[in-house]
Amino acid sequence: MSQRIVLLPGDGIGPEIVGSTREVLDALGEFSFEELLIGGISIDEHGTALTDEVLDACRSADAVLLGAVGGPKWDEAVARDPSAPRPEQGLLAVRKELGLFANLRPVAAIPALIDSSPLRPGVIEGTDLLVVRELTGGIYFGESGRRGSTAFDECAYSVEEIERIARVAFEAAITRSSGGKPRLTSVDKANVLETSRLWRETVTSIAGEFPEVELEHLLVDNAAMQLVSRPTEFDVILAENLFGDILSDESAMLTGSLGMLPSASLGESGPGLFEPVHGSAPDIAGQGIANPLATFLSAAMMLRYGLGKESEAGRLDRAVEAVLERGFRTPDLFTGAAGETEAGTAEVTRLVLGELDR
Ligand code: IPM
Ligand code: MG
């Protein structure tokens, strides 16, 4: 029986990049797809960013591939009426309801794109790190609201929540190490926040289970600085939800563009959710110029971690690399340097399909 993939294109450039990814997946194997609504488009259709039907379909799928959610139209609606539904609620709900507490965001400098980054080649060359972001706790899911002219967002973490994500990060450090000593950097703000002090304490105690891993703790402000000053010295970075969100966008610049970063969100069991780290880019939606590569690479993570298809995952990773090596660049990556050719979404997709055919 073919594996069942739920596609959630979402908003903005989501439908374009997920459409391209579907073509690529079709070239890699026999999958059955179900395409469903999430985010702003679901609000327009059903008044909510995620319906129970879509959630159930995700639950019973083998994997879920998502484009992006959000856009100015729905931001404006919320500005007019704070109780209006927000597209992001759909994404947060699907993560929470599927128990996807572990978000893996690999960040590797791509040799062909070294000049597309705003950072100096000498700084980013050799960067190869993994951000392990806690995805279903912290300030994203605490109590929040308004009291008169005051707004509040509670940040809470339990020992159990920290332990399970810490184990994922330690295990990832071991899996990734090829010969050298596995390293893990845990990020917090323990000089100010109580949740961070519990975070540090708990991660330190879990380290006892993984004596082969070298653990360091960094304060998040310092980590943000070191990520751009010495990125090659990081291996696995473990962070709570909000810090991981911020540091992963920052890390994207090490690869040349936010348009290149894939992610996998996994739980203890059940289907994973795979999505590019970038957002819905409403400013370029519908123009055929969106970079589909982060979604292709997310599909590769889906094949690898969600569907047990390592060899297909490897083929897709290599096809993306080959197209970049040949100089093809969507506008977000295009620098105008000799050897580069500017290409839109459809052309990049066609080129990746061509590489898969070789
Ligand atoms: C991400 C995004 C989301 C997040 C938004 C769209 C809610 O920024 O996946 O990094 O903050 O988690
Ligand atoms: Mg983000």
80 lies in which domain range?
1-101+260-358
Residues 178 and 279 in one domain: no
Lowest mean pLDDT of 1-15, 57-71, 249-263, name the range: 249-263
Averaged pLDDT for residues 185-205 = 98
Asked whether 240 lines ligand 1 (CB < 6 A), one says no
Mean pLDDT of the chain: 96
Centre of ligand 1 from the C-alpha of residue 92, in Å: 8
Structural domain includes residue 250: yes
Q: Give pLDDT, residue 141.
A: 98
CB distance 73 to 39 below 8 Å: no
Structural domain includes residue 337: yes
| Centroid of chain to Cα 340 | 27
Residues contacting 137, CB < 8 A, separation 6+: 101, 156, 157, 158, 161, 240, 241
Phi, psi of 118, deg, nearest 5 = -70, -10
Centre of ligand 1 from the C-alpha of residue 245, in Å: 7
pLDDT band at 178 (very low <50, low <70, confident <90, very high): confident
- Domains: count for the chain: 2
Residues 65 and 133 in one domain: no
Q: Give pLDDT, residue 172.
A: 97
Structural domain includes residue 9: yes
Structural domain includes residue 343: yes
Asked whether 91 lines ligand 1 (CB < 6 A), one says yes
In this predicted structure, the answer to whether residue 108 has a pLDDT above a threshold of 90 is: yes
Whose CA is closest to atom 11 on ligand 1?
245
| Centroid of chain to Cα 112 | 21
Q: Give pLDDT, residue 312.
A: 97
Among 228, 255, 282, which residue terminates a domain?
A: 255
CB distance 356 to 319 below 8 Å: yes
| pTM of the predicted protein model | 0.96
Q: Is 249 a catalytic residue?
A: yes
pLDDT band at 180 (very low <50, low <70, confident <90, very high): confident
Residues 277 and 250 in one domain: no
- Beta-carbon neighbour count of residue 222 at 10 Å? 12
Whose CA is closest to atom 10 on ligand 1?
245
Among 255, 278, 310, which residue terminates a domain?
A: 255
The tokens for 105 are 């965001």
CB distance 155 to 195 below 8 Å: yes
In this predicted structure, the answer to whether residue 282 has a pLDDT above a threshold of 90 is: yes
Structural domain includes residue 111: no
Percent of the chain exceeding pLDDT 70 equals 100
Residues 161 and 251 in one domain: yes
Residues 209 and 265 in one domain: no
Q: How far apart are CA 224 and CA 29, in angstroms?
A: 40
Residues 152 and 91 in one domain: no
In this predicted structure, the answer to whether residue 1 has a pLDDT above a threshold of 90 is: no
Residues 294 and 207 in one domain: no
Q: How far apart are CA 110 and CA 116, in angstroms?
A: 10
CB distance 17 to 276 below 8 Å: yes
Q: How far apart are CA 108 and CA 111, in angstroms?
A: 9
Residues 242 and 304 in one domain: no
Among 224, 255, 286, which residue terminates a domain?
A: 255
CATH number reported for the structural domain that contains residue 168 in this entry: 3.40.718.10
Centre of ligand 2 from the C-alpha of residue 277, in Å: 6
Residues 151 and 87 in one domain: no
Residues 305 and 194 in one domain: no
In this predicted structure, the answer to whether residue 326 has a pLDDT above a threshold of 90 is: yes
pLDDT band at 86 (very low <50, low <70, confident <90, very high): very high
Residues 96 and 178 in one domain: no
User: Which of 282, 278, 259 has its CA nearest to residue 331?
Assistant: 259
Structural domain includes residue 112: no
Q: Is 309 a catalytic residue?
A: no
Structural domain includes residue 306: yes
Q: Give pLDDT, residue 256.
A: 78
Structural domain includes residue 222: yes
Q: Give pLDDT, residue 258.
A: 85
In this predicted structure, the answer to whether residue 130 has a pLDDT above a threshold of 80 is: yes
Residues 89 and 190 in one domain: no
Q: How far apart are CA 204 and CA 145, in angstroms?
A: 33
